[in-house]
């Protein structure tokens, strides 16, 4: 490999970042060793998007939409982004779909292995810390576009309450008091949750709130999929309480979604009648 040569008009001098860009070896080129004249664009990778978690009086509710996108293409209408971590906890993923799913499987395996070796489950705090280390280990891949940013939530059997943790790309772990959101539609979803959240809200109210949040996010963010009754595609919603992790079935989600759509339709018709 020969050393790169620069003319007087494009010499990066002591700027190392500029040198990487000119030689095509920076993370934004998507390919180490690409020439400056022929940079290689990174491949279009399926990404999962919006997930939310809300704490209610007896536990937590986690939900995620079902759309995966690769650039402007909808690559999957039925991807799952909410998974059980163990009996009393779950993880919701946003980011590059492949690394996200791999991280979840490894996380599940590590928690199962710890319980088999120690004879007791790891504490919820310990689970959150372990997931943070895994996110931190993914940082080199994240710098090349394979970002994974999860939400972790569960029922703390020692404290008898639900708890929610969110992360940044460096593995930083932050406990949220009442709710959290991640993904491209998180701004819109989080706004809905903030407006609708009430302290010590009941389970059914929390489920309806996360469905509403994802619906509004899908209306404003093209990467977030809305409910599709024609294809029987609804968000993945899981409830975690003292009884453990339970995923809601599609029949219940269809009933709740139809009620949600009727409510939005009535509100819109009322607004139009008031304006006329």
Strands 151-156 and 161-167: antiparallel
Three-state DSSP at 233 gives: strand
- Summarize pLDDT for 235-272 with one digit per residue, the tens: 999 999 999 999 999 999 999 999 999 999 998 887 77
Taking alpha carbons only, the member of 128, 9, 129, 78 closest to residue 234 is: 78
**Burial 21-59, CB ≥16 within 10 A → b, else e:** bbbbbbeebeeeebeeeeeeeeeebbbbbbbbbbbbebb
**pTM tops 0.85, yes or no:** no
- Summarize pLDDT for 56-92 with one digit per residue, the tens: 999 999 999 999 999 889 999 999 999 999 999 999 9
The residue ranking higher by pLDDT, 97 or 43, is 97
Instruction: List, edge to edge, every strand of the sheet that includes 173-176.
Output: 82-86, 89-92, 151-156, 161-167, 173-176
> 49, 69, 182, 257: which is the annotated catalytic residue?
49
The CATH fold of domain 45-268: 3.60.20
In the chain, what are the domain boundaries?
A: 45-268
Query: How is residue 113 written in tokens?
Result: 């292995």
CA dist 132 and 143 (Å) reads 17
Three-state DSSP at 31 gives: coil
Please compute the mean of the pLDDT values over residues 98-103 and round it to a whole number. 95
Distance of CA 206 to the CA centre of its chain: 18
Number of helices (H), then strands (E), in the chain: 7, 14
CA dist 31 and 43 (Å) reads 10
pLDDT over 70 percentage in the chain: 84
Contact call for residues 53 and 62 (beta carbons, < 8 A): yes
Active site residue 49: yes
Mean pLDDT, the chain, rounded, equals 89
């Amino acid at each position: 490999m020969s050393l790169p040569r620069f003319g007087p008009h494009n010499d990066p001098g002591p700027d190392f970042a500029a040198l990487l860009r000119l030689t095509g070896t920076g993370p934004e080129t998507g390919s180490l060793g690409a020439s400056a004249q022929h940079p290689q664009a990174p491949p279009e990778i399926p990404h999962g998007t919006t997930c939310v978690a809300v704490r209610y009086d007896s536990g937590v509710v986690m939900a995620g939409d079902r759309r995966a996108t690769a650039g402007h293409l909808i690559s999957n209408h039925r991807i799952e982004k909410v998974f059980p971590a163990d009996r009393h906890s779950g993880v919701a993923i946003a980011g590059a779909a492949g690394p996200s799913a791999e991280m979840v499987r490894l996380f599940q395996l590590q928690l199962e292995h710890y319980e088999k070796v120690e004879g007791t489950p790891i504490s919820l705090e310990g689970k959150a810390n372990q997931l943070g280390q895994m996110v931190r280990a993914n940082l080199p891949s994240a710098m090349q576009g394979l970002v994974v940013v999860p939400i972790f939530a569960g029922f703390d059997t020692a404290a008898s309450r639900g708890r929610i943790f969110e992360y940044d790309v460096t593995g930083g772990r932050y406990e949220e008091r009442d709710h959290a959101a991640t993904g491209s539609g998180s701004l819109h979803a989080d706004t809905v949750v903030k407006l609708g959240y009430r302290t010590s809200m009941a389970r059914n109210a929390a489920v309806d709130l996360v469905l509403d949040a994802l619906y509004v996010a899908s209306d404003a963010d093209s990467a977030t999929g809305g409910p599709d009754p024609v294809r029987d595609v609804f968000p993945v919603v899981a409830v975690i309480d003292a009884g453990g992790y339970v995923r809601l079935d599609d029949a219940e989600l269809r009933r709740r979604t139809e009620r949600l759509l009727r409510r939005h339709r009535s509100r819109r018709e009322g607004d139009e009648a008031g304006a006329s």
